[in-house]
Amino acid sequence: MTEAEPGRGPDPGRGAGPGPGPGSTDVRNVVTDSTVHYLVQIGVLNGELHLTVPPPPVPPATPLGLAEERLARSLLYQWRAEADAWDMADPEPLAVRWVHSRTALGPGRELGGRGDRVGTMAEALLGLDHRRLLILGGAGAGKTTLAVLLTLELLARRLTRDEDVPVPVVLSLESWDAERVNFHDWLVRRITEEHPGLPRVDGLHPAARLVSERRLLPVLDSLDELPEHRRTAVLGALGRQLGQEGGVVLICRTEAYRELVTAQRDVLRVDSAIEALPLDPADVASYLRQARQPSRAMEWAPLLAELRAEPNSPVSRALSTPLMVWLLRRGYERAPADPGELVDRRRFATAAQVERHLLDRIVPASFPELPPAPDRLHPPRQWEPERAREWLSHLARLMDRQGSAELAWWRLFGAPLPRALAVPALIAVGIALSLLFELVLGSVPGGRHRTFGFGTTLGLSVTLAGGVRMAGQAWFGDDTVTPRRRVNPLRFAGALRSAGRNGRLGRAWRLTVVIGGPPVILALGLFQVLEPSTAGLMTVVGVLLPGYLMIVMAAPSDTVDAATPDALLRSERTSVLLTMVVLAPLIALGTGLLGWSRARPLMDWTDTLAAWCGACAMFLLLSPWSRWLLARCSLALAGRVPWALMTFLRDAHRAGLLQRTAGTYRFRNLRLQQHLAGPGGSGGSGGPGTARLPAPRAPSGTAPAPGTAIGAPPPPAASWRGLTVRRDPASYLLSGRSREVTLAHWGPLGALMGLQLVRTTVSGTWDHLEAWAPMVGLPVIGLLIMLIRFLPRRRFELHITDTFIAARWGRHRCRYEWSDVDEVAVRRIHSRGRDARVHGIHVRLRPGAPVPPARYRGRDGWFLVQSVSIGRTLPPDIVEALADLSGGRWRP
């Protein structure tokens, strides 16, 4: 017998038992809406048996349908694991009552329900005209829990019953910069990054097709955790960019949303809004009675009696949200904790005191001091409750200072202590490695130690390894900043395809390098075998082959399931080890070939081994894994995190304190994070949702020019610092000659300074004063480049009319007709995958519009008009001109 997944049981209106007498045909046995495989009837069957069993789901007939199903299955596994960690179904979900909200929406379709009957609410959501639902409620009211339960219900329907159900995708709004990135582009990017291995459609990742064909239902959380100016931008962008048929489920606190709709005209139009009511004390008592252990009935009896008899008592008012009920259940589930103490009016005179007490108890209750089972080979890790509280509090404060609600292991390097120790640690480790290399290689029998030769060979290998590493970064652009799962290098063909798809260069260049690279390298290698030369062999073996393999090994993995923090860390560690055992030997061999000649057929293997050590040191010291090690070790030595930090975070997630999405952790609730952060944490309504950006202020500095800080607002005479402003009702012209301040070169110079620092310390020349000259010379070169670019005054022009926007800088010109433009905004400038570290006016073109030259192409479908500012703000006169003349396309 195969286990069946039941739908509705026997029809209660027709009955399912025996009839009034033997042989009666008045009673029918009916099974409807079920996916049974076998039906076993026990006993005597009276009457007819009617089975209505739907056929099994038909496999998708199109590649896009297959990709959609694979995505839905991956999300179902992911959120089932989160639901288990949150105790959502143990026992039955709380009976949270959701009613139609008019306070924040106004007239709309009536929709409501109960949190323990999600199927009915999912059916109502699918019946909405545009499938736009707003979920409101107070702190800890169960908004995210309802969203996850709705997601699981919709995913189950999509995989078993109805292909018309869109795939719900739960996302945090923190990662969306609504002022610069279009909503659909952000959604496509998130799906592509988190599920890179979905089956390809026409050779491309299916995320763009799934979004454009409305096959996804975004479930957007954390709107209330954003700063106020970002909430406004998000809500306005959603209202403009969703389109007429775009569905969405938006989650927000009631008060925060009411403030938004009161102060903003451009809001999101939804079909319905629901709001959570406070929990009924009787329902809470029934839930706790089912959830408690039967052996502890006496300990729970006073509290349950208080909830039923005194609905207005402090503890009853405190337990009006699912968050507090979960804290109560988890904090008092084990003996000797006595939940009856909460009815003591002298200790807990107010609901706030009860809530603080429950928040204080959750960490000790999540890490109890239990003796491990003696028969277990690997017992679970034990954490001291007080230390666990200190560690979580430090992480909460760190997240608050970074302006992020996401806890990512690679961002721990941004803490003050690791950043302060970065350069001293790099110097100390490099010197220690140089002494170790000298000791080991000098003591090997037959090995020769030559200070100058040893330093030259090892230093050259460090330089080559740095060049190979920068080649991988140049190929993938800024995507190397965030760790990701790497492709399996043993699947060479798949790695090549992934490298070709994710490269930042043009399609023609990517195809040329990926397809033509191996034949070219092989041909050059055969030519060097026939006509050997030292420089040629070193170029092929030590430069071209390692550079090509670096691109292949750095390609993102083609996996369907979303990444986890542990998987990302393992991938980075594996990547470093692979470079040390695959790329470093090739670089060492190429470096060793420098000493090879016909007169000297044997290479100096000591120098080759030294070169391998130098390449390994380079790959290790400047990797994200080494930065993670520095952050973890320094914070652990200071007592701020445990040594086994990833194990601790994993246990905190299993205990329900953290949730895990997209390779990062988050605290289960903002209220919990604020409580752990303490008085120094964020207690405002904005929460620690995202970066605390300063309020816009009037810019000051030099006159606006590409890459230059914007000048002060022009006076009424419209002439300032060599620039002239002409303004009339139909046009705005800012023209003249100005200077340029360049900053983009500091990124490569910083990489070269890091490479030179490793080379100086590891190669054993750190005790020579002249070896540190490049560390002083590189910043001087950077300042000279800025000065040379700043001295000449170039022609500058920004022309805005009611029909077009045009710009000129030097001999470069561009022009965009407003009829070809969808939006205009200020964005960070990215040129060929690199961050220029300045801001400029960008436009988003409509499909079919003329495309400008490559130097004006930005990211996410935006095109540069003119670089105008180091900061984000524009002078008021330019803002006014864009608002008046762009025909509603300006996004402030």
Residue 883 belongs to what H/E stretch? helix 876-885
| Same domain, residue pair 235 and 330 | no
For the cut 80, the answer to whether the pLDDT of residue 681 exceeds it is no
Residue 684: per-residue pLDDT: 36
Domain count, the chain: 6
Residue 408 lies in a domain: no
Percent of the chain with pLDDT over 70: 76
Among 366, 399, 420, give the residue marking a domain's end: 366
Arithmetic mean of pLDDT, 386-414:
87
Strand pairing report for 167-172 and 272-276: unpaired
C-alpha 643, offset from chain centre:
25
| Same domain, residue pair 735 and 755 | no
CB-hemisphere CA count at 13 Å for 143? 26
Q: How far is CA 167 from CA 112, 241, 247, 268, 656, in A?
A: 22, 19, 11, 21, 26
C-alpha 101, offset from chain centre:
32
Report the CATH number that the domain containing residue 152 is assigned in CATH: 3.40.50
CB 653 within 8 A of CB 85: yes
Arithmetic mean of pLDDT, 73-102:
77
Residue 693: per-residue pLDDT: 28
Residue 353: per-residue pLDDT: 92
- Identify which of 92-96, 694-698, 778-782 has the greatest average pLDDT: 778-782
At residue 379 the predicted structure's pLDDT band, cuts being 50, 70 and 90, is: low
Residue 37 lies in a domain: yes
User: What is the C-alpha to C-alpha distance for residues 122 and 148, in angstroms, rounded to an integer?
Assistant: 11
R_g over Cα of the chain = 32
Tally DSSP H helices, then E strands, for the chain: 28, 20
| Same domain, residue pair 327 and 186 | no
For the cut 60, the answer to whether the pLDDT of residue 75 exceeds it is yes
| Same domain, residue pair 100 and 126 | yes
Arithmetic mean of pLDDT, 432-440:
81
Tokens representing 621 are: 């010291």
Among 276, 297, 323, give the residue marking a domain's end: 276
| Same domain, residue pair 783 and 799 | no
**Range from 32-46, 104-118, 731-745 carrying the lowest mean pLDDT:** 32-46
Residue 432 lies in a domain: no
| Same domain, residue pair 592 and 726 | no
| Same domain, residue pair 231 and 361 | no
Residue pLDDT, tens place only, 159-169: 886 778 899 99
Percent of the chain with pLDDT over 90: 7
CB 29 within 8 A of CB 16: yes
Strand partners, 738: 794
Strand partners, 168: 217
Position 708, amino acid:
T
For the cut 90, the answer to whether the pLDDT of residue 65 exceeds it is no
Residue 706 lies in a domain: no
CB 611 within 8 A of CB 587: yes
User: What is the C-alpha to C-alpha distance for residues 102 and 121, in angstroms, rounded to an integer?
Assistant: 18
For the cut 80, the answer to whether the pLDDT of residue 712 exceeds it is no
Q: How big is the CA angle at 479 (ends 478 and 485), to the nearest 5 degrees? A: 155
Which residue in 279, 308, 316 sits closest to 138, CA to CA?
Answer: 279
C-alpha 566, offset from chain centre:
14
Mean pLDDT (the chain) is: 76
Arithmetic mean of pLDDT, 818-846:
79
Residue 756: per-residue pLDDT: 81
Helix 281-291 to helix 297-309 angle (10° resolution) is 170
At residue 717 the predicted structure's pLDDT band, cuts being 50, 70 and 90, is: very low
Residue pLDDT, tens place only, 123-155: 888 888 888 888 888 888 888 888 888 888 888
| Three-class secondary structure of residue 551 per DSSP | helix
User: What is the C-alpha to C-alpha distance for residues 428 and 434, in angstroms, rounded to an integer?
Assistant: 10
Residue 511: per-residue pLDDT: 80
CB-hemisphere CA count at 13 Å for 658? 24
**Range from 135-149, 447-461, 653-667, 764-778 carrying the lowest mean pLDDT:** 447-461
Q: How far is CA 154 from CA 78, 147, 194, 218, 387, in A?
A: 14, 10, 20, 12, 41
Residue 431: per-residue pLDDT: 86
For the cut 50, the answer to whether the pLDDT of residue 323 exceeds it is yes
Residue 637: per-residue pLDDT: 92
Residue pLDDT, tens place only, 860-886: 678 888 877 666 677 788 888 888 888
Residue 633 lies in a domain: no
| Same domain, residue pair 287 and 200 | no
| Same domain, residue pair 468 and 597 | yes
Tokens representing 111 are: 């929709």
Please indicate, yes or no, whether the overall pTM of this predicted structure exceeds 0.75. no
User: What is the C-alpha to C-alpha distance for residues 676 and 835, in angstroms, rounded to an integer?
Assistant: 36
User: Which residue has tokens 């007939």?
Assistant: 61
User: Which residue has tokens 């399609």?
Assistant: 507
- Residue 155 contacts by C-beta under 8 Å, 6 or more apart in sequence? 72, 75, 76, 79, 167, 168
Residue 659 lies in a domain: no
Residue 856: per-residue pLDDT: 81
User: What is the C-alpha to C-alpha distance for residues 406 and 368, in angstroms, rounded to an integer?
Assistant: 26
- Residue 449 contacts by C-beta under 8 Å, 6 or more apart in sequence? 438, 441, 442, 606
**Range from 120-134, 340-354, 558-572, 673-687 carrying the lowest mean pLDDT:** 673-687
| Same domain, residue pair 263 and 330 | no
Residue 524 lies in a domain: yes
| Same domain, residue pair 141 and 201 | yes
| Same domain, residue pair 242 and 99 | yes
| Residue 844 main-chain phi, psi, to 5 deg | -105, 120
CB 232 within 8 A of CB 693: no
Residue 713 lies in a domain: no
Domain membership of residue 175 as a residue range: 63-276
User: What is the C-alpha to C-alpha distance for residues 892 and 877, in angstroms, rounded to an integer?
Assistant: 13
Residue 161: per-residue pLDDT: 62
Strand partners, 99: 275
At residue 517 the predicted structure's pLDDT band, cuts being 50, 70 and 90, is: confident
Q: Which residue has the higher pLDDT, 401 or 457?
A: 401
For the cut 90, the answer to whether the pLDDT of residue 734 exceeds it is no
User: What is the C-alpha to C-alpha distance for residues 685 and 236, in angstroms, rounded to an integer?
Assistant: 19
Among 276, 310, 325, give the residue marking a domain's end: 276
**Range from 52-56, 65-69, 455-459, 470-474 carrying the lowest mean pLDDT:** 52-56
Residue 634: per-residue pLDDT: 93
Arithmetic mean of pLDDT, 432-453:
64
Arithmetic mean of pLDDT, 419-431:
88
Strand partners, 359: none
